[in-house]
Amino acid sequence: MLRGLQGDALTTGAALLGGYEKALPVQIAMMDIFEVSAGGGSIARVDEDGALHVGPQSAGAAPGPACYGLGGAEPTVTDANLLLGRLGAERFLGGEMVLDTEAAEAAMRDSVAQPLGMETIRAADGILRIATTSMSYAVKGVTTERGLDVGDFALVAYGGAGPLHASAVARELGISRVVIPRAPGLFSALGMLFSDLRYDFVRTWFTALETVPFDEVEAVYRALEEEGRAAIAAASVAPEAVTVKRAADMRYVGQEHAVTVDLPMEVFENRDREAIKGHFDAMHQQRYGTNAPAESAEIVSLRTTVTGTMRKPAFETVEAGAIEPPASARSGERPVYFDEAGGFVDTPTYTREALLAGNRIEGPALVEEHASTTVVMPGDRMEVDRYGNLDIAVSGRRSGLRTDGGRERGEPGI
């Protein structure tokens, strides 16, 4: 999910669920989220033409990846991470579940490595590279394709598998900073505790901007705002404050599709058509890389967002420490495969709960916790902030893999 310059979560009034060919259009206000089928359970397979695919089929939780030992026989992204040493067989879910390395190796060998005529480890690495590319497309979908420079953003990775792949995805896209929040597997649930009470209303209203009847538009907005305030008043919780924002779906005359433009209240108070047009031109430029200030515009819909600001829980801080992590945080060492380093590298492991604010770790390293593992790649530098987040400075772009689906000279095809 992309956040705006003021920290507001971006929303959309139209989305497609599923692939483009079979997608179902949903035209209600929702968080602007772009999904990708490349999770830990995504199944790797070789098609009849000898091409390797990862997802969209998933092993799910039952039977799950082959390494779960619950009957799954197809290799998944989780199996690949286990074989490359990024997951510890004895430490999965804090040691509550022991992973079956032999089952993962057999599934990888039989379903991917042998059909492709390559070593099992190279096959596992290929699966992660494809998964990384798929994830990078999702990030591009909410940045580059909307006129935003992805390099201007930090990548916040959460969920159980996100921290395993975040630095690799950042390299693909030229992102220089990755942030792993505390308890990343519970990050979505944490977000619910910080959410405000919000109602979005839209009214279809076709009118040319040059002749827009401001009195009528004001009446529509006020009616929508009163409906939103009534909904918040009827809720079972009492917000600390209620705020109102206005927007309009606009397009150039002759266009089919409209874009949603946030509009400050003063443009309506001043009945400023030029200001409304300027906001629309700027949004069109950002989204499509072009605009037409000399062309006439029209309004398609009027939108109102009424938000009840809720009291937020306080973030806990972690104890401050030195630059060097305490000895209690070091949990061991194991070989981990990094293609950038030419193969397996003896990599230190750390227990995240024992890390202190200010601790720094140079990659390669693994930071393990109950529901996730963060991969600090060779050349990366990680620092723990005062809230326990892992702030990773990414060293550079991963070589050999391009997000356009091609490959650089000398790189074997997968």
To 5 degrees, how large is the angle CA 23–CA 77–CA 25?
10
Q: Copy the structure tokens of residue 137.
A: 């497309």
Q: What is the CATH number assigned to the segment(s) 197-309?
A: 3.30.1490
Q: Which amino acid is at 17?
A: L
**pLDDT at residue 410, as a whole number:** 31
d(CA 161, CA 184): 9
**pLDDT at residue 192, as a whole number:** 85
**pLDDT at residue 21, as a whole number:** 65
Specify the residue for token string 């790649």.
377
d(CA 357, CA 398): 29
Q: Which amino acid is at 350?
A: Y
Domain spans of the chain? 1-33, 42-130, 197-309
**pLDDT at residue 59, as a whole number:** 86
**pLDDT at residue 209, as a whole number:** 94
Which residues, at least 6 apart from 162, have a Cβ–Cβ distance to it below 8 Å? 180, 184, 372
Which residues, at least 6 apart from 241, have a Cβ–Cβ distance to it below 8 Å? 308, 309
pLDDT tens digits for the chain (414 residues)? 444 445 666 777 667 776 656 677 777 777 776 666 567 888 999 998 889 998 888 888 888 999 998 888 899 999 999 999 999 988 887 778 889 999 999 999 999 999 999 999 999 999 999 999 988 888 887 777 777 788 888 999 988 888 999 999 999 999 999 999 998 988 888 888 888 999 999 999 999 999 999 999 999 999 999 999 999 999 888 899 999 999 999 999 999 889 999 999 999 889 999 999 999 999 999 888 899 999 999 999 999 999 999 998 888 999 999 999 999 999 999 999 999 888 999 999 999 999 999 999 999 999 999 889 999 999 999 999 999 999 999 986 443 333 333 333 333 222
**pLDDT at residue 34, as a whole number:** 65
> What sections of 51-149 are H helices per DSSP?
77-83, 101-108, 114-116, 120-141
**pLDDT at residue 190, as a whole number:** 87
Taking CA atoms, 53 is separated from 76, 99, 402, in Å, by 11, 24, 16
Taking alpha carbons only, the member of 202, 291, 303, 193 closest to residue 251 is 291
Beta partners for residue 26, in sequence order = 15
Chain CA centroid to CA 317, Å: 25
**pLDDT at residue 3, as a whole number:** 45
Taking alpha carbons only, the member of 167, 140, 144, 142 closest to residue 156 is 167
> Are the C-beta atoms of residues 78 and 61 closer than 8 Å to each other?
no
**pLDDT at residue 38, as a whole number:** 62
> Are the C-beta atoms of residues 384 and 390 closer than 8 Å to each other?
yes
**pLDDT at residue 211, as a whole number:** 93
d(CA 213, CA 109): 69
